Amino acid sequence: MFATIPLSLAANYKKSYFMSKGTINTIIGILLIFGVLIGYSLLTAPSKEELQKRKRQQDSLVIAQKQKIINDSLEVYKKKNEALKKDSTNPISVKDTIAAVAKKDSSNKAGTYGKFSASSKGVNKHIVIETDLVKIKFSSRGGGISSVELKKYKTFDKKPLILFNSDSSNYNLTFQSDYKFINTEGLYFTPYFYNNTYQGKDSVLIKGKDSVQFAMRLFPNANDSVKNTNSYLEFLYTLDSNYMMHFNINFVKMQQIVDANSTYVAFDWKLNLTQQEKSHKNELINTTIYFKPDKDDVDYIKETKSEKKEKLPNIKWVSFKQQFFSSTLISHSTFMSANIETLTRKDTLFPGYLKTLSTSITLPYSNSDKLSYPMSFYFGPNHYKTLRKYNLDLERQIPLGWSSPYILGWINRWAVIPVFDFLSKSGMNYGIIILILTLLLKIVLFPIAYKTYMSSARMRVLKPEVDEIGKKFPKKEDAMKKQQATMALYKKAGINPMAGCIPMLLQMPILIALYRFFPASIELRQQSFLWASDLSSYDSVWNFGFTIPFYGDHMSLFTLLMTISTIIYTKLNNQMMGTNTQPGMKVMMYAMPVMFLGFFNDFASGLSYYYLLANLITFLQMYIFRKVVNEEKIHARIQENRKKPVKTSGFQKRLEDMAKKRGYPVKK
C-alpha cells in the first residue's frame, strides 16, 4: 500500500506536468504568432519619408484637381462669353471673366501656400548682376537664377552664349509648412543687397576684384503693408570676378513657420539645354549629367541614354555638362542624396533643343534659429586648367581618357596639354600650333618609326626566299609545313616577324589620346584655319541639301583628304612589307579608311587635320628612310647571320633538356 501511493502520486504529477508543458507551448506559439505579425507590420510600415512622399503626392493631386477646376471654369466663362457676344443686348466683358477666374485662383493659392499666400501675388522683377565673365539674371518670382550668359563666348552663329533662360529652366525649393508642401517657384521674393550702395538697383556691374552679396528673401505672413523682416527664407548669392558663384539657402527664425516634424527639404533644378555648337549631333552625344560621389571617382550617365534615372547617396556635386560648357551645383560638404534624370524628348521643345537634365537634392532639416546650406554654382567653360584650379575633380568632365586604360589620361595631362598650352601662349594660329605639335610628336616617335621601317626592310629582302618556300609547299594541306619553314628561315636570319607590330602598338596610346584631346579642347572652339571656320567642329565645303546614309548632309574636306592619305599610306605600307595579303584582308584594309570617312565627317576638323598631317609626315619619313637605308647591305648582313649558329634562349634550352630526359627526340 505504502508502495503504491507514491507511484500514483508520481503518475498524477507526471500527467499534470505534461499538461502544463503543453499549455505553455500553446501560449508560446500564440505569442510567436503575435510577434511575427507585429514584426511584419513594423517592417512593412512606411517610413517618415515615404509618408511625407505620399502626402506630397496627395497634395499634388489636390492642387492638380483645383487647377483643373480653375481651367474648366475658365473654359466655361470663355464659352459663355462667346455665346453672349452674339447677343448684343446682354454682353459680358473679358474683364469680368478674368476677375471671376482670378477670384477662384486667389482662393486656390491661399489654400496651397498657407502662410505664404500673400507672396503668391506680385510682379516679377529682374535683377541683373554682371562681371567680366558672366551676366546673371535673377527673378523675384521663385527667387532663383533665370538666365546665365557667358560674356567671353558666342554661339556657333555668333549670338550671345546663354546657358539657359527662364523659358528653359526650373528652380524650386520645397519645404513643409502647416502640413502643406510649399514650392517657392510660384512665390514672389524681395530683392536685397547686403551693400546699401546697390540697394534698389536693377542692374549691377562688378569690376576687377570687387564682389557683391545679393539675396532673394521670402517673408511669411506678409502683405503689401506689413512684413516681419525678422523671419524669412533667403537665397543668398555671392558673386565676384569668377565663374564660381557661392550660393546659400538660409532659414532665418523659421521655427514657427516650417513644420516641427520636418526632417528634410528638397531643392529641384531642371534645365532644357539648347544647342551652342555647329554640329547638333556631335553636341548631343557630349551632353549628359556628371556627378561626384563623396568618396569615389567622378561618374556620369552615358551620353547615348535617351532616358535614365538614378538615385545617388552622399554626392559632392552634380553637373549638367554640354560639349564645352557646364552648369554645376556643388555642396561645401555633401548632399544627403540626389535624384538625377536625363531625358531626350522626341517632341522638340524649341529650335536647337538637346536634352532635359534635372536633379532633386535632399537637404536635412532641423528646427533652429538659423539653418544654412552652403553651396556653389559653377557656370563656365570646360577648360582643363580653369576647372582643375578648384580642386574638386571638375576637370574630369572633359573626356580626356580618365578611365581604363588610364595611360590615355596621363598622356594628355602630362604631355599633350602642357605642350599645347605652351604653344598657345605664342599667339600663333591654332592650325600652325597643331602642325608644330604633330612634328614634335613625330620626332618623339621617330625611333619607333625607324625600327618599324627596318623590320619591314628585312622582311622585304627575304621575300624571294619566302616565295621559294611557298613553291615547295603549294598544297593547302601543307600550310603548317610552309609556316614552319618560313619561321625557321626568319629565325636563322635573326628576324622577329613581330618586331614591326610592337612599335605600332606602342604608338597606339598616343594616337588614341589625341583622338580624345582634339574634340574636347575648347581652345580650338571657333578658331579658323584655311577653309575651316571652326577647328572644334566639321569643316563643310559643300552642303548637299539632302542626307546620304552613313555619310551625312555635307562634305568635310579635311576628313576627305585624311581618308585619301590613309588609303595611300595603306598601299605604300603593303608594298614596303612585301607580303602577299589575302584578298579578304586586303579589302578590309582599304574598307577601314572609307568607314572613317563617314565617322569623322561630323567630327572636329582639328582632329582630321592632325591625322592628315601625321600621314603626310609619315610619307616624308618613308621617303627619307628609302633613300638612306641600303637594303643590299641589310641582305648581306642577313646572309652572314644565317651562317652563324642559331642561339637558343634559356627558356627554349630548358624545354629541350626536359624533352631529352623524357626520351623525346630534339630537332637541331
CA distances from 581 to 163, 538, 571, 575 (A): 53, 35, 11, 10
pLDDT (0 to 100) of residue 96: 41
Q: Taking a C-beta distance cutoff of 8 angstroms, is the pair 306, 387 a contact?
A: no
* Top-confidence residue, 203 or 452: 203
Q: Is the pLDDT of residue 47 over 90?
A: no
pLDDT (0 to 100) of residue 31: 55
Give the percent of the chain with pLDDT over 70: 75
Q: How confident is the model at residue 179 (pLDDT cuts 50, 70, 90)?
A: confident
pLDDT (0 to 100) of residue 509: 84
Residues forming beta bridges with residue 269, ordered by sequence position: 171, 359
Pairing of strands 169-177, 203-205: unpaired
Name the residue with cell 563656365: 380
Mean pLDDT of 126-133: 95
pLDDT (0 to 100) of residue 54: 52
Mean pLDDT of 457-486: 77
Q: Is the pLDDT of residue 100 over 50?
A: no
Q: Is the pLDDT of residue 385 over 60?
A: yes
- Provide the b/e sequence for 326-355 (b: ≥16 CB within 10 Å): bbbbbbeebbebbbbbbeeeeeeeeebbbb
Q: Is the pLDDT of residue 346 over 90?
A: no
Question: Dihedral through CA 92, CA 96, CA 102, CA 108, nearest 10?
Answer: -60
CA distances from 257 to 86, 202, 232, 385, 568 (A): 51, 30, 9, 45, 76
Q: Is the pLDDT of residue 391 over 50?
A: yes
pLDDT (0 to 100) of residue 554: 87
Question: Dihedral through CA 64, CA 67, CA 69, CA 75, nearest 10?
Answer: -130
Name the residue with cell 622577329: 496
pLDDT (0 to 100) of residue 455: 78
What are the two backbone dihedrals, phi and then psi, of residue 457, each rounded to the nearest 5 degrees? -65, -40
Tens of pLDDT, residue by residue over 502-533, are: 666 777 888 888 888 999 999 999 999 999 99
Q: Taking a C-beta distance cutoff of 8 angstroms, is the pair 365, 258 a contact?
A: yes
Q: Which amino acid is at 584?
A: G
Task: Show the cell assigned to 542.
Answer: 559643300
HEC letters along 603-659: CCHHHHHHHHHHHHHHHHHHHHHHHHCCHHHHHHHHHHHHHCCCCCCHHHHHHHHHH
Q: How confident is the model at residue 18 (pLDDT cuts 50, 70, 90)?
A: very low
Residues forming beta bridges with residue 175, ordered by sequence position: 182
Q: Is the pLDDT of residue 128 over 80?
A: yes
Pairing of strands 134-139, 145-154: antiparallel
Instruction: Give the rounded distance of the alpha carbon of 114 from its chain centre.
Output: 40
pLDDT (0 to 100) of residue 576: 64
**Distance separating alpha carbons of residues 120 and 565, to the nearest angstrom:** 66
Mean pLDDT of 9-27: 42
Average predicted confidence (pLDDT) for the chain: 79
Question: Dihedral through CA 405, CA 409, CA 410, CA 411, nearest 10?
Answer: 100
Task: Show the cell assigned to 293.
Answer: 560621389
Q: How confident is the model at residue 372 (pLDDT cuts 50, 70, 90)?
A: very high
Q: Is the pLDDT of residue 584 over 90?
A: no
- Provide the b/e sequence for 451-487 (b: ≥16 CB within 10 Å): ebbbbbbbbbbbeeebeebeeebeeeeeeeebeebbe
pTM score, whole prediction? 0.75
Q: How confident is the model at residue 458 (pLDDT cuts 50, 70, 90)?
A: confident
pLDDT (0 to 100) of residue 208: 84
CA distances from 145 to 172, 174, 183, 393 (A): 10, 16, 16, 25
Residues making up the chain, counted from first to last: 668
Q: Is the pLDDT of residue 38 over 90?
A: no
pLDDT (0 to 100) of residue 465: 79
pLDDT (0 to 100) of residue 40: 47
Q: Taking a C-beta distance cutoff of 8 angstroms, is the pair 117, 109 a contact?
A: yes
**Distance separating alpha carbons of residues 184 and 173, to the nearest angstrom:** 5
pLDDT (0 to 100) of residue 662: 62
Q: Is the pLDDT of residue 111 over 60?
A: no
Of 156-170, 270-284, 379-393, 569-583, which gets the smallest average pLDDT? 569-583
Tens of pLDDT, residue by residue over 441-451, are: 999 888 888 88
Q: Taking a C-beta distance cutoff of 8 angstroms, is the pair 489, 465 a contact?
A: yes
SS3 state of residue 584: helix
Pairing of strands 307-321, 353-364: unpaired
